[in-house]
Chains A and B, each alone.
Chain A
Amino acid sequence: MVLRKIIESRGDFMILELKNIHKSFSDVQVLHGVSFSITSGKALGFLGRNGAGKTTTIRILMGLFDANQGEILLNGQRFNPREHSIGYLPEERGLYPKQKVLEQLTYFGQLRGLNNKQAKENGLYWLERLGILDYKDKRLETLSKGNQQKVQIAETLLCNPDIVILDEPFSGLDPVNSQILKDIINELIKKGCLVIFSSHQMSYVEEFCQEIALIDKGNIVLTGDLKSIKKEYGMNRITLNSTNQSVHELKNILSTGVKDVKIIDTKNKGVIIELLNGKSKNRLLHDLLDLNIDIENFSIYEPSLTDIFVQKVGDN
């Protein structure tokens, strides 16, 4: 079969906005005014600890639950998921274990509005693209976990979606298959799809997502451009390593001998210092030299996404 281009370039710019979404189940309020937005051609990293409200938010977005309050808008209009082609890869994987791979892909494709021929063609395309075409007539349960995951990805992308929601898409994939999926996600972003990416593997999020929304106990605690967030979190913060002082010694010296600084964290045998009351980097450097600290590293602190995540939603 000749590979055909299924991912077509999107002409229209889209902005999807969730505004003040509230949701309760019985007496338990799960979402307390969730708001964030995402534009086409970008990927949003939707992050949060287990049970923070990610799946509930996604299910409201997919129209499976009604929000008690708030609205979802696409380009300023009320968003109806039934009117759009959405590819959803849920965290809870599942297809029909006893059905043949292509048969069920065709069925799901048809349910999403494709005709029988298109559904079959698209199914074959994605099976070939993901390197599992040989399994098209096999029952799903006979495939390995990784290959089942690939069938699930094929199912997600089957209907040439405008909006793609990926919940832990890399789980179960080996490095080679992860690379194949990375290429596909990059392709989707480049073609103008609106991608919502949820994962606990922060390295993937940093790789794909220009924007993030961090949810904690049903509240969005952080949202915006990832680079700006990192910059903001690094502002007035310095990473310091010493050749002749241990972390413990550094912490003691800094807390007793240096004014207008606060030790934020320790990392890689060094400390992260926040400058207070307008103290400059040069002033701090002078202070450190006066204290005879042999500086190995003195640099502007750039937090990783994991640092930001732990800092915002960690137990402390």
Chain B
Amino acid sequence: MRNFFLVLKFELLNLIKKKAFLISTAIICLIIIVGLTIPIIADSFGSPIFNKDENQVAEADKVSYGVLIEEDSIELSDLETLLPHINIITTDSKKELSDLTRNEDVVAGFIIKAPTKYDYLVKNTSSYDNNTYEMDSALLTLYRNKTLTEKGIDVSIVNEVYNVSVEHDVEVLGKDSMQNYLYTYILIFALYFIVIMYGQLIATSIASEKSNRSMEILVTSTSTESLIFGKVIAGALAGIIQFGIILLVANISYRINASAWDNSLDFIFDIPLNVLLTFSVFGILGYLFYLFAFGAIGALVSRTEDISASATPITIIFIIAFFISMFSMNAPDSLLLKVASFIPLSSFMAMFIRVSMGNVSTIHVIISLALLALSTGLIGILGAKIYKLGTLMYGNPVKLKTAIKLLREK
């Protein structure tokens, strides 16, 4: 046990003192800090993202429309009343209107031919053009008001009847998938990256000990169990520390900037305790499960360049488990996700999604957790055996099938 802690300490310090670890953590934290400070930066440049009053558009910000009203089809003052956020410039001829539009003195030109008919002049069309929509609504309102008044109907009563809105309150009895989606997505993605990154790191670390032959000294100095468990758990801790720092920085940055964000990201950061707990327990066990597998792969190769080829099968299995989980996020109670949530290869992601977004009974969570914990323990023991077997086997990479056959013979 003493040597396990010695290996753990040595490996952990090596990992977290690495430039790659320090720089990647610093860069990610910096990006998060800058990203979450954007509203404050935007405010300081006078372009607030949140809290801006839509009705108060500064005079200077108003866009201009050029208008030519033919045959007094409508009253200019009525149009100005209905389009208060637009600066309307009247013209006397089509040529004058065309010149204004071409010279971009106005964003668009309208030749109003009848109360419900106009020609639209624009220099360049754009997919974001909503000028005709603005004019359509204004002319339609003018036409309706005029017609109703002519027929002796009170416009305000009609508006009241038509504009009444049906009120409804939402009471979510299960999970609010819309709200939970984003943080579940972020956490699953984080888990994906952390497993791939640290899995490769551990496999490389073990393979390099074989290639630089320090393995000869290590295996004669302490037990192989201390070595593999110390290494894998050190790798797992380094990942957890890095992820923890990033989460902490994100949380603090958001809390500081929450008012500037108008609290609009609260739903990402206020993750319920049970979801966090499930993520932590399942995430850590699943993470360890894959790290042991990657560790064993590292022991079966003699050169670091052989790792990517040897690690391909387990990487593919992990990616399939990841995609099943990701695609099932839209249907958290689907049969596929239910099955995946009991298979240890995918349960640490699938069960987390079910707890976070779907409906799952406690007994299912306990069964899945027990299966995952048992499998992680077994793969740890198997990993240690493969590690012991593989440590002193040099040359071509040993296939997993061969390794298991050799273990059986033993």
A-side residues, CB < 8 A to B, are: 26, 59, 62, 64-66, 82, 86, 88, 90, 92-97, 99, 107-108, 110-112, 155
Contact = CB atoms under 8 A, between A and B. Distances in A.
26 contacts: A26-B406, A26-B409, A64-B220, A64-B392, A86-B220, A88-B217, A88-B220, A92-B213, A93-B213, A94-B213, A94-B214, A94-B215, A94-B216, A94-B217, A95-B212, A95-B214, A95-B217, A96-B212, A108-B217, A110-B6, A111-B3, A111-B6, A111-B218, A111-B222, A112-B221, A155-B217
B10 interface: yes
The binding surface of chain B is classed by DSSP as helix
Contacts of B7: 111
Interface string B214-230: 11111111110000000
A96 B6 CA distance: 16
Nearest to B219: A64
Interface residues of B, number: 21
A51 to B, nearest CB: 14
A239 B213 CA distance: 46
A107 B392 CA distance: 21
A312 B222 CA distance: 37
B212 A97 contact: yes
Interface in B185-234: 212-223
B220 A107 contact: no
A314 B137 CA distance: 105
Closest 3 CB pairs of A and B: A94-B213, A111-B221, A90-B216
Contacts of B223: 82
B10 to A, nearest CB: 5
Contacts of A64: 219-220, 392
Contact of B212 (A82, A94, A112): A94
Given A92-B213, A92-B216, 11 more contacts: A59-B392, A88-B220, A93-B213, A94-B214, A94-B216, A95-B217, A97-B212, A107-B10, A108-B221, A110-B6, A111-B222
Nearest to A108: B221
Interface of B: 3, 6-7, 10, 14, 212-223, 392, 406, 409-410
A99 B14 CA distance: 9
A98 B7 CA distance: 16
Contacts of B213: 90, 92-94
A292 to B, nearest CB: 61
A26 B213 CA distance: 24
Contacts of B219: 64
Interface centre among A59, A65, A66, A111 (most CB of B within 10 A): A111
Contacts of A93: 213
Contacts of B406: 26
B404 to A, nearest CB: 13
Nearest to B214: A94
Interface centre among A92, A97, A155 (most CB of B within 10 A): A92
Nearest to B218: A111
A110 B219 CA distance: 14
Nearest to A97: B212
B308 to A, nearest CB: 21
B220 A96 contact: no
A66 B392 CA distance: 13
A110 B392 CA distance: 22
Contacts of B218: 111
Contacts of A110: 6
A33 B14 CA distance: 44
A221 B221 CA distance: 31
Nearest to A82: B223
B231 to A, nearest CB: 13
Nearest to A156: B217
Contacts of B10: 107
Contacts of B3: 111
Nearest to B410: A66
B107 to A, nearest CB: 63
A82 B392 CA distance: 18
Contacts of A97: 212
Interface centre among B215, B216, B392 (most CB of A within 10 A): B216
A90 B217 contact: yes
Contacts of B410: 66
B206 to A, nearest CB: 13
A94 B219 CA distance: 12
Contacts of A107: 6, 10
Nearest to B389: A65
Contacts of A92: 213, 216
Contacts of A86: 220
A127 B213 CA distance: 21
B214 A96 contact: yes
A93 to B, nearest CB: 6
A107 B13 CA distance: 12
Contacts of A62: 220
A260 to B, nearest CB: 53
A98 to B, nearest CB: 9
Contacts of A90: 213, 216-217, 220
A93 B211 CA distance: 11
B345 to A, nearest CB: 30
A107 B2 CA distance: 12
Contacts of B216: 90, 92, 94
A66 B298 CA distance: 23
Nearest to A55: B392
A140 to B, nearest CB: 9
Contacts of A111: 3, 6-7, 218, 221-222
